């Protein structure tokens, strides 16, 4: 672990030697669960944040974590064993500055994990622009269902994976490999600290425009991940490093041709793909949503009915199957049982309400590719239903004009004349230059020229009323945003229920 240059050297080698850990930015789901775990190990844990909301405030209270609201110097900084700084904390944060001045060791969560756990484990890292959270959650569930007790951390919430962060005694550690940067003094992807033995690479596209300047910068981040795949585990046993890569991504193909990782590589893709690189293993979608057939070349391996639907989830499931069957040699029946029983992840095509035969779903889609796959999945699952879609450009990338034309193409191809779309104005664009801002007005004009039924959201209250009044039994309403959408979804459900 590399502490800040202004920090004292770290002499503690074992987690149980820690007596007091302080966490700056403790209110997020991952950091809060991390704090609760440390507390369960008999460590005094304190934490600070601007404001901590339910359910995390209740989780921290139940764990008896000491919470401070607001950021400032702490009296105990001179004696605390370790200070963990979240990646939401800026360099000018007064508490972070006080922590540095205290000369106590300061680390990010990825650095903490690398130092105390990951160097000694077999680590499976799931990385890529899309699909990380669902694939990681699915992998965890399959292991738990098979009686294996993995350590893990994942950036989302799944009903069958109740905690985002958990450390067990076994050697397997399953990690969602985020390409976002680590902390303000360590501007490298989090997954650079994850000591991977096996990597599942789902996709590579341009995203996170607030920290990456170009697609080439993004590809360089993933090149760094491939260089870090360990040829074997820290115990020097026979577990060779492995890469399972999605074959239909041109950017992944480029990296594979560079031969960065020289170990075992398995590629996967769709059965009817027209990609240049034919995948080693393929998945075919049957007419029944969630029914998939896995192939090796032209040879059928197995057929499975899952609760997840859509092309993207078929690929997620195949990648998990390949990792456990061929790399870890898990019993196939146990793999398939885990795949069949997985109920999904919150905010990923999550069914939140059924009001008078009107289905309401919540989805995290914000990148054009994710929006495209969500619309495809909805049309496959509900082929005779009208789709009523509300989309909010809220991510750092979607608020910029980078994908202005791509969004127009995705909605034009994904929506039918009977469907309807409501578009929000982009979330706060004050820090984005005017010439680089995404334009909802431009998108609306483009779509109307293609006869797409689209409206601009001017008022959340009025839009909720409009959606509820427009919806009829049999319709499907889906909210697409990586944020709160200003409470639009629960308001629509409320108005539907009150009709």
pLDDT along the chain (499 residues), means of 10: 43 86 94 94 97 88 96 95 95 95 92 94 97 97 96 92 90 96 95 97 96 97 97 56 96 96 95 81 96 96 97 98 96 97 96 97 97 97 97 96 97 97 96 95 95 96 97 98 94 93
CA distance 156 to 174: 14
CA distance 74 to 54: 25
Q: Is residue 34 part of a domain?
A: yes
336 & 412 share domain: no
pLDDT of amino acid 60? 95
Task: Among 292, 312, 341, identify where a domain stops.
Answer: 341
172 & 303 share domain: yes
CA distance 192 to 110: 9
Q: Give this prediction's pTM.
A: 0.94
458 & 420 share domain: yes
Q: Please say whether the beta carbons of 184 and 91 come within 8 A.
A: yes
Which residue reads 């982009």 in tokens? 426
335 & 241 share domain: yes
389 & 451 share domain: yes
33 & 129 share domain: no
379 & 288 share domain: no
Task: Among 324, 341, 358, identify where a domain stops.
Answer: 341
37 & 126 share domain: no
pLDDT of amino acid 8? 40
Q: How many domains does the chain have?
A: 3
Q: Is residue 455 part of a domain?
A: yes
CATH of the domain at 270: 3.40.1190.10
456 & 493 share domain: yes
468 & 364 share domain: yes
The whole domain housing 66 covers 15-107
CATH of the domain at 377: 3.90.190.20
Q: Is residue 10 part of a domain?
A: no
90 & 136 share domain: no
Task: Among 107, 128, 145, identify where a domain stops.
Answer: 107
pLDDT of amino acid 2? 41
């Amino acid at each position: 672990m590399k502490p800040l240059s202004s920090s004292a050297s770290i002499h503690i080698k074992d987690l149980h030697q820690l007596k007091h850990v302080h966490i700056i930015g403790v209110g997020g789901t991952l950091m809060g669960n991390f704090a609760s775990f440390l507390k369960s190990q008999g460590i005094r844990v304190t934490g600070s944040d601007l404001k901590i909301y339910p359910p995390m405030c209740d989780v921290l209270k139940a764990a008896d974590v000491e919470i401070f609201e607001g950021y400032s110097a702490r009296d105990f900084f001179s004696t605390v064993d370790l200070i963990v700084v979240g990646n939401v904390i800026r360099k000018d944060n007064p508490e972070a500055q006080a922590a540095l001045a205290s000369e106590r060791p300061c680390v990010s969560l990825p650095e903490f994990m690398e130092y105390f756990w990951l160097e000694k484990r077999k680590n499976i890292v799931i990385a890529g622009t899309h699909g990380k959270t669902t694939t990681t959650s699915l992998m965890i569930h399959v292991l738990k269902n098979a009686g294996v007790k993995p350590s893990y951390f994942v950036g989302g919430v799944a009903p069958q994976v109740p905690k985002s962060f958990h450390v067990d005694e076994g050697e397997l550690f399953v990690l969602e490999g985020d390409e976002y940067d680590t902390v303000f003094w360590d501007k490298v992807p989090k997954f650079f600290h994850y000591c991977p033995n096996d990597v599942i690479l789902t996709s590579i596209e341009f995203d996170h425009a607030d920290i990456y300047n170009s697609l080439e910068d993004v590809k360089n981040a993933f090149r760094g991940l491939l260089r870090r795949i360990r040829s074997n585990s820290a115990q020097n046993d026979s577990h060779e490093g492995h890469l399972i890569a999605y074959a239909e991504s041109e950017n992944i193909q480029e990296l594979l041709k560079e031969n960065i990782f020289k170990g075992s590589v398995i590629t996967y893709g769709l059965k009817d793909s027209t990609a240049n690189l034919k995948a080693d293993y393929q998945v075919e979608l049957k007419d029944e949503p969630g029914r998939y057939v896995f192939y090796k070349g032209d040879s059928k391996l197995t057929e499975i009915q899952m609760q997840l639907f859509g092309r993207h989830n078929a690929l997620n499931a195949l990648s998990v199957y390949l990792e456990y069957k061929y790399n870890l040699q898990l019993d196939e029946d146990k793999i398939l049982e885990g795949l069949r029983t997985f109920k999904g992840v919150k905010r990923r095509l999550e069914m939140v309400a059924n009001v008078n035969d009107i289905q309401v779903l919540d989805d995290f889609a914000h990148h054009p590719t994710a929006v495209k796959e969500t619309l495809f999945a909805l049309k496959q699952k509900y082929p005779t239903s009208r789709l009523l879609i509300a989309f909010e450009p809220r991510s750092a990338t979607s608020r910029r004009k980078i994908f202005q034309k791509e969004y127009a193409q995705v909605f034009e191809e994904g929506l039918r004349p009977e469907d309807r779309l409501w578009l929000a104005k982009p979330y706060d664009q004050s820090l984005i230059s005017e010439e680089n801002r995404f334009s909802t007005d431009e998108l609306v004009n483009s779509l109307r020229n293609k006869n797409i039924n689209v409206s601009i959201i001017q008022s959340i209250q009025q839009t909720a009323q409009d959606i509820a009044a427009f919806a009829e039994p049999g319709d499907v309403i889906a909210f697409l945003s990586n944020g709160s959408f200003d409470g639009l979804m629960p308001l629509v459900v409320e108005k539907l229920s009150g009709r």
